[in-house]
Amino acid sequence: MSILAVAKLLIAFTALFTPGAEPMTLTFRNNCPYTVWPGTLTGGGSTQLSTTGFVLASKASFRIDDVPPNWSSGRLWARTHCTNDSSTGKFVCLTGDCASGQVQCNGAGAIPPASLVEFTLNGSGGLDFYDVSLVDGFNLPVSITPQGGGSCNATSCPADVNAACPPQLAVKGPDGTVISCKSACLALNEPRYCCSGDLNTPEKCPPTEYSKLFKDRCPQAYSYAYDDGTSTFTCPTGQDYLITFCP
């Protein structure tokens, strides 16, 4: 056997017994009383997951079993109020749409406002990093629960923020009900809400009355750009995760 062949075997053997080297599983559960259409996005130009969008009926579950152990800049969300447009034949959603015209998002992300689940697996120090983010606004409650045992913490936005959404942030459906809630940055586009321009540091961009509204209802979720202290969660890599809509 050549030296190169031996080296390849050693690499494969090491990967086999290195924690987190095996693909991990994401399980999606829909506890909402209505159908949702989850979407997935892999950032940084990396390969997308085996599915980038699917339908999930109320009380149903779905698994993705081939998530890379070093998956980074991963985003998950749920689209709501989705139909096939009768005039174009394209698939469209009133919240969280990825504008692909299909159930599969094919590498496109959610159009805000949408509640986001974010992952970086096997990051610094051999840890998974995960969070629920309302920086791009809110469309439905969601939670993340590690499934590997141990003392890793779940995180969530369990409240219906739409019920308390100020009129200037509210997005209404055809029947006049609030179906999603914009972030102040998206709705008002001012540096103090977007932490942009000269206000692009934590010291210069404190919470605002709008981000506090999100934080009061979902204390574990990101409410604005510099909300790291109470919103980023970690767990030793090698876990599986449960994503629950309307936990």
Residue by residue, DSSP assigns the chain as: --HHHHHHHHHHHHHHTSTT-S-EEEEEEE-SSS-BEEEEEE-TTPPPPS-SB--B-TT-EEEEEEE-TT--SEEEEEEEEEEE-TTT--EEEEES--SSSSSS-TT--PPSS--EEEEE-S-GGGEEEEEEE-TT-BSS-EEEEE-S-TTPPPEEE-S-GGGG--TTTEEE-TTS-EEEE--HHHHH--HHHHT-GGG-STTT----HHHHHHHHH-TTSB-STT--TTT-EEEESS--EEEEE--
Q: What's the rounded mean pLDDT across residues 49-58? A: 98
Domain boundary assignment for the chain: 21-158+219-245
With cut-offs at 50, 70 and 90, classify the pLDDT of residue 44: confident
pTM of the complete model: 0.89
Whether 19 has a pLDDT exceeding 80, the answer reads: no
pLDDT band at 21; cut points 50, 70, 90: low
Residue 148 has a pLDDT of 81
Mean of pLDDT values over 155-174: 98
Task: Say if residue 16's pLDDT is above 60.
Answer: no
The domain made up of 21-158+219-245 is a member of CATH 2.60.110.10: yes
Looking at residues 15-43, what average pLDDT do you find?
Answer: 84
Is the pLDDT score of 190 beyond 50? yes
57-80 tens-digit pLDDT: 999 999 999 999 899 899 999 999
> What tens digit of pLDDT does each residue of 80-110 get?
999 998 888 899 999 999 999 999 999 999 9
